[in-house]
Structure 1
């Protein structure tokens, strides 16, 4: 039986970057570059003719930039888009996440010529990412979703009365649930955006988030989520005391655990299951420290990272939530948690935050 070839369209205005990307994809027998375009306008013309499985696009291009291009693709020819950008080196990652908001699935740093070891590592990572994206679910972007999202005001508790019930939380902190830990991979940034933007500013417990993301993009992700959320979103510091209404991500390339004094442990010990940070490391730590007073959430992503941690929380009497298949870009990690018996609730992404809010209300 012949293996299906993954057809790639590259939209890239740098001749050097285009050569590198074509060379990388040519090294895989499972991938074929069926077309290239130097800008979004030309790229849009090629899509109906070439019917690519995955589109790789840059952010900054003449005539039509990556953001406009992504919006047009998702409204007219929805398919997986991978943002391959040098913005990670230019400290412009905030704009990259606007493409994810517009419907792109994932981000990747633009490969450069340099050390062979770095090139080989990036080459394999990029090929693997394209293989994953070729099988993901995409959601059509409607015109009413492309409006600019303004940064929400972090209102005082007294003025936060406009949200409908059950999104209004009583001000007394919960005596039962102490922490919520969330893990995500492919499709995770968009899922995290959906959850965190629904949480009110007086959310009475801390949150921990582990997101698999390409090197260099973590700070941009955290800043993007913080700019749109009423809770505070930040990168954890070693030894930092957890605070209610704050969501913590581990520093790049570090695992995140919590000790018996509610303080962050950020370690660079070896990857677990190929991941650092590992979702499983964080969820298992939460299970040990908080037991039945913990909530574990596993969102869209490939593989099984976090599944055993969800089971550990469930066995300790905590609450566990897996994102459902219908709203997951990749129903891998949630499916593994469900198969292990580690998911008490299986919910669409829009229903997760309301459940979290209801569980910490008192």
Structure 2
């Protein structure tokens, strides 16, 4: 059987050292082919239409044209998956800029490898190549500069003849828990799990919620180490809700969005205060959405809204099932608006998702349930 062609990757990076490291990493994989490089956005645009890469990796800060402007132009003229490779953000301005790239159409962020990170070379290599493989399977659509609303990033449909199903707020027909819908009490907490494409999806949901949202929102977002605080800072400037990283012993408050800390599972004690633990990863992740979902299912039976968003793998699927089995509401993001339809697909296959909704339908449902 003939092997598939390597993934065509274009690198935009103004640091010669970082560029050398990236090329070395990607050259080690027969599944990746670096088809071009540029030191800034202007030089990149001169080549991209000719070499036709499948994935573009870009830095944020560059002379002549930075990564944000480059992303906007690419998504308007040559739409394709973009991975932002940048140093972890140290200032609120940098964090806003990095996540503005995601808002502009980039798919994911990855920490820039350095000489200091070469001690973890094999791990960095594995993670970066896997990230590029995921992005190579993502289909993106043209984003016009005049548009301000979220534009869906979608995986290819399972069948070229299939048509998107029109989802409503009705329970998913394959859910064994649908009969419980009429028996739910007033929600006391929202729990959300997300991975690849999650920052954009979370932004789409949280931006629609008012500061008076009457219950806390607990989140697990799989994101490269060093970028969580940047995500929190960006969402805090974009949304009316308060956004922060959960602290051990803290009692969740209404109108506040809490994120699990880096490298820590987020749970709740018998008084419903936060606990953070360093137990082994679940489904390959720490923090894990399943760990959080199981904790809220135990602490808030019949009064949780669990939401599983875009992402690769199956983290959160078992946890969403635990929430449903505890008599609470469960939602999975639909295939058509997922960047990667992995985690929600697994939950749907389990029958754990009572509602399958497009990303822009989730916030209206939350508002309908809690007000």
Give the structure-2-normalised TM-score: 0.87
Task: Find the aligned partners of 1:286 and 1:219 in 2 and give their Cα distance.
Answer: 23
Q: 2:185 touches 2:302 (CA, 8 Å); kept in 1?
A: no
Answer 1 or 2: higher relative contact order, Cα 8 Å, separation at least 6.
2
Deviation of the 1:146 alpha carbon: 5.7
1:67 is the counterpart of 2:68: yes
Deviations 1:176-218 (A, max 9, x none): 2110000000000000000000001110100001000000000
| SS of residue in 2 equivalent to 1:262 | coil
Q: Which SS does the other structure have where 2:281 is aligned?
A: coil
3-state SS, counterpart of residue 300 of structure 2: helix
The number of equivalent residue pairs is 335
Q: What displacement does 1:137 show?
A: 2.8
How far apart, in 2, do the equivalents of 1:94 and 1:132 lie? 25
Secondary structure in structure 2 of the residue aligned to 1:237: coil
1:287 to 297, 304, 307: 297
- 2: distance between equivalents of 1:89 and 1:231? 22
Deviations 1:242-301 (A, max 9, x none): 101111001111111122212111112221121010010000111111121011000010
Residues 290, 146 of structure 1: alpha-carbon distance in 2 compared, 3 angstrom cutoff:
closer
Contact 2:88–2:226, Cα closer than 8 Å, also in 1: no
Q: Single out whichever of 295-304 and 262-271 deviates more from structure 2.
A: 262-271
SS in 2 for 1:145: coil
Q: Distance in 2 between matches of 1:304 and 1:22?
A: 31
Q: List runs of 5+ in structure 2 lacking aligned partners.
A: 150-183
1:182 maps to what in 2? Answer: 192
The answer to whether the 8 Å contact 1:12/1:38 transfers is yes
2:219 aligned partner = 209
Equivalent residues of 1:137, 1:330 under 8 A apart: no
Alignment match, 2:172: none
Q: Displacement, 1:350?
A: 0.3
Cα root mean square deviation, aligned: 1.5
| CA-CA distance at 1:323 after TM superposition | 0.5
Structure 1 residue 94: Cα displacement: 2.8
Pairing 1:290-329 to 2, within 5 Å after superposition: 290-329=300-339
Equivalent residues of 1:88, 1:109 under 8 A apart? no
Instruction: Give the secondary structure class of the aligned counterpart of 1:2.
Output: coil
Partner of 1:32: 33
Question: Structure 2: how far apart are the matches of 1:10 and 1:32?
Answer: 11
- The structure-2 alpha-carbon separation of the partners of 1:340 and 1:261, relative to structure 1 and needing over 3 Å to count, comes to same
SS in 1 for 2:146: helix
